[in-house]
């Protein structure tokens, strides 16, 4: 019965996500009608088209795991990762092979591991999770990993796109931050750590900054949407974190 309720919650969240994205696409369509010079909906771009269901399923995934006892969201997360990997491989003028590799080879295994961990019986129904929140050692290690992955992706982007180290610095740094923050967010989710939502927040903010630089209005709106959804989930988890698990924030 409990598992059936969890799956029903995933279904409801998927319907909510479809409605939200339907409204968003409708508003963008109206904006194009009012201002014909805008190009917000790119139905001729295969990567963009694949990104729509990926985003819908991604929001359903976040809304579902907002409940730290509902592991069914990670099944949606696996489908989302497959679609996003395909989207980046369709990206023009060059496929985003670094992002595609992460979605196929890192995020899907992380989400499978999350399913295995989250589906284990909990000690009590009243305490579905007991996260550590920004413990100093874990926080410092995470920051080092964040910097390392960002730097590696910066070098990869410099080589892959054939430009110099000093070219497009901001966009390459934000692109690397997008990848590194999502790696850490997915990793900490495996262990139900509230820290994960800090990195989802960074991911959303980095996406907004990146697409402002790339002048992609649709993606800016999309990542603002993600920022709101991720912030809501993060606040819910932080409120559910006991004072003794607040790490260096304990007592504040």
- Residue pLDDT, tens place only, 61-118: 999 999 988 999 999 999 999 999 999 899 887 888 888 888 999 999 999 999 999 9
Is the Cβ–Cβ distance between 10 and 56 less than 8 Å? no
Is the Cβ–Cβ distance between 182 and 199 less than 8 Å? yes
> How many CA atoms within 13 Å lie on the side-chain side of 104?
11
Is the same domain home to 33 and 98? yes
243 occurs within a structural domain: yes
Is the same domain home to 146 and 39? no
Is the same domain home to 109 and 173? no
Answer with the one of 75, 94, 122 that is the final residue of a domain. Answer: 122
Is the same domain home to 151 and 216? yes
Is the same domain home to 117 and 148? no
127 occurs within a structural domain: no
Is the same domain home to 249 and 180? yes
**Nearest alpha-carbon partner for 234 in 133, 113, 119, 122:** 133
2 occurs within a structural domain: yes
More confident residue, 246 or 17: 17
**Nearest alpha-carbon partner for 190 in 100, 130, 112, 80:** 112
86 occurs within a structural domain: yes
pLDDT per position as a tens digit, 123-174: 654 455 667 788 888 889 999 999 999 999 999 988 888 777 667 889 999 9
**Nearest alpha-carbon partner for 195 in 176, 181, 180, 209:** 181
106 occurs within a structural domain: yes
The two tokens of residue 46 are 């295969």
Is the same domain home to 115 and 138? no
25 occurs within a structural domain: yes
Mean pLDDT of 217-244: 89
Answer with the one of 103, 122, 141 that is the final residue of a domain. Answer: 122
103 occurs within a structural domain: yes
60 occurs within a structural domain: yes
Is the same domain home to 99 and 18? yes
Number of domains in the chain: 2
- For 237, the domain range is 133-252
H helices of 128-194, in order, are 136-160, 169-190
């Amino acid at each position: 019965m409990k598992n059936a309720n969890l799956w029903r919650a995933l279904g409801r969240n998927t319907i909510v996500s479809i409605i939200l994205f339907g409204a968003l696409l409708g508003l963008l369509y109206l904006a194009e009608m009012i201002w014909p010079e805008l190009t917000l909906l790119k139905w001729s771009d295969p990567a963009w088209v694949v990104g729509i269901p990926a985003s819908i399923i991604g929001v359903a995934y976040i809304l579902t795991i907002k409940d730290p006892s509902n592991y069914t969201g990670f099944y949606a997360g696996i489908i989302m990762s497959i679609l996003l990997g395909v989207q980046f491989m369709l990206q023009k003028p060059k496929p985003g092979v670094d992002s595609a590799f992460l979605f196929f080879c890192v995020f899907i295994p992380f989400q499978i591991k999350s399913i295995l961990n989250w589906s284990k019986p909990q000690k009590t129904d009243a305490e579905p999770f007991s996260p550590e929140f920004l413990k100093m050692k874990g926080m410092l290690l995470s920051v080092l990993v964040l910097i390392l992955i960002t730097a590696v992706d910066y070098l990869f982007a410099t080589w892959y796109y054939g430009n110099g180290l000093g070219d497009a610095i901001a966009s390459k740094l934000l692109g690397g931050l997008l990848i590194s923050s999502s790696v850490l967010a997915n990793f900490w989710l495996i262990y139900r750590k509230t820290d994960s939502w800090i990195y989802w927040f960074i991911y959303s903010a980095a996406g907004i900054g990146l697409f402002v630089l790339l002048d992609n209005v649709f993606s800016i709106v999309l990542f603002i949407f993600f920022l709101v959804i991720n912030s809501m989930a993060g606040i819910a988890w932080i409120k559910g974190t006991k004072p003794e698990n607040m790490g260096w924030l304990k007592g504040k």
